[in-house]
Structure 1
Amino acid sequence: MQDRVSLYPGRVKLTPVAGQANTYDLTRADQPTQEGTPLNKASLLKDTTASAFGLGTDAVPDDALHLLSRFQRGLGNEYIWAKEQWNWEVVKSNSTYSLILVQSGNTNRTYVRYSDDIILDSDGNISLAEPITQIYPTYNSAGSLQLDNKYVQLSSFSYADAEVHPVRFSDGVTFVSGNTYRLTYRIVDALHRRTLFGYVNSPSPDAYPPAVSDGYTYNPLGQLGDKVRIATGSYTGTGTYGSSNPNSLTFSFPPEFLVVSPNQEPYRLFLVRGMTKSNTSPTGGSGGNVAVAWDGSTVSWYGDSTGGEAYLQLNRRGTPYFYFAIG
């Protein structure tokens, strides 16, 4: 923002209002060399800025400052939710399949119901919209029943039972021979898919309870400062080993799990926080025994077996070692 710079600071001009006693119009007469930034809503809190904070057009600067104060108290203390919507979506398989249809017979014949469209309910169930039912004896090799690009549902009736098939998308029916036909189709299915609209946060763990009914689902993800952290890196062995020369790694967080490995050698170190002993040898021999210490964000270890070597402590001179830590 810029200050107003005037040749005559504070100077104003009073002009009498005609016909109104003791009433004047006041205008600035300070002759500014720099106008300065006007003191108005657009300068102090634009509507677009208020919207970015999740505030309405009636918000005042203090409302935005109040939200910013939460960062001063510690961003890691904020609770976070994923703002989602779950919807059923119809998908068709890319692969095609075929099924033999029976026109008539003593034990079985196929009925077909078909439609140009389908209905998908809130539970993911698919049904035909205003279906047409056709009994297959009316179908002939000339193709009196056209099923290209239709949604179809078949029913096979026998003496004992009636089996209703799921809705499928038909690529057409071809005549085979006698009373049989071949339906080529693609599988129609309903998938429950998530759409992520971003994340919301609040200092209160109850700000977005499951009962919020604004059309979204809020999936609680805990506190920001409570998230899993990962660190990777490497070091080059110095050739030393033993209790007077431990290996040590320090992280920006207290690690809960640590893996250390050279590039090609078979020796490895797997540590879970709290372990005081481990072994680097792939065969578990006593020569690979190491003592482990945990101190906040630092992990250290050394070979504690008689006759140990630097390579068993994962510190062979000139050898690169790689580590992976989770906290």
Structure 2
Amino acid sequence: MQQTSHFQLSQWEGEDRILRENFNSDNAKVDAALADHAAALAGCGNCRLWATTYVGTDECGPSHPNHLTFPNGMPLAALVFSYCGEIMVLVPNATSTTYHTYMDTTYGYNRMQVSWSGNTVSWYSDQTQTPAYQMNSPSPYYVLAFYQADAE
């Protein structure tokens, strides 16, 4: 009798004797695999969102960093974006991120320095003197933070 490669389930050939013990053993293996799968899915949790907006101060550089405090603790990740196609992804404890813009048919990017302290993140760009490339033009920006809902 052959067995499958992943769970060693019975694979009978024409002359093999079929025994109830083989079926019972296979059923126990399938049941255990399904239980493990269900436990893994339960650990994935649900996502909770938090959103806010801010208007940039029209400043940039290391002496004028942006600050954002998340009232519900540190998120799994956060998106900062504008109506004109700018986007930045913030990941906890990451020390840098990249600003991207897709305005009209042009594409641009800029590296940002990021620091985290508790549930507050700060970022700045030292590569340009353009507040837009630091997500800090005097226009609205939108923030969407992702939290694991069952981690509360």
The TM-score with structure 1 as length reference comes to 0.28
CA shift, 1:272, in A, is: 1.9
Deviation string, structure 1 residues 30-77 (Cα, Å, up to 9, x no partner): xxxxxxxxxxxxxxxxxxxxxxxxxxxxxxxxxxxxxxxxxxxxxxxx
SS in 1 for 2:143: strand
Query: Are 2:119 and 1:297 equivalent residues in the alignment?
Result: yes
Query: Are 2:76 and 1:256 equivalent residues in the alignment?
Result: yes
Q: Which has the higher strand share?
A: 1
Query: Are 2:120 and 1:314 equivalent residues in the alignment?
Result: no
Larger radius of gyration: 1
SS in 2 for 1:281: strand
CA shift, 1:228, in A, is: 4.4
**Residue of structure 2 in register with 1:270 after alignment:** 89
Q: What is the count of residue pairs matched by the alignment?
A: 101
The TM-score with structure 2 as length reference comes to 0.58
Q: Which has the higher helix share?
A: 2
Query: Are 2:148 and 1:324 equivalent residues in the alignment?
Result: no
CA shift, 1:266, in A, is: 2.2
Give the unaligned 5+ runs of structure 1. 1-209, 211-219
CA shift, 1:281, in A, is: 2.8
Equivalent residue letter for 2:131: A
Q: Could you tell me how far apart the structure 2 residues matched to 1:273 and 1:261 are?
A: 17
**Residue of structure 2 in register with 1:88 after alignment:** none
CA shift, 1:312, in A, is: 0.6
Q: Could you tell me how far apart the structure 2 residues matched to 1:242 and 1:256 are?
A: 26
Deviation string, structure 1 residues 103-142 (Cα, Å, up to 9, x no partner): xxxxxxxxxxxxxxxxxxxxxxxxxxxxxxxxxxxxxxxx
Task: Give runs of aligned pairs for residues 52-131 of structure 1, distance below 5 A.
Answer: none
Q: Could you tell me how far apart the structure 2 residues matched to 1:230 and 1:236 are?
A: 20
Q: Percent identity?
A: 32
**Residue of structure 1 in register with 2:57 after alignment:** 238
CA shift, 1:221, in A, is: 5.7
SS in 2 for 1:312: helix
CA shift, 1:244, in A, is: 1.1
Distance 1:228 1:246, change over 3 A: same
Distance 1:229 1:241, change over 3 A: same
Equivalent residue letter for 2:112: V
Deviation string, structure 1 residues 265-293 (Cα, Å, up to 9, x no partner): 222111222321122133354xx221011
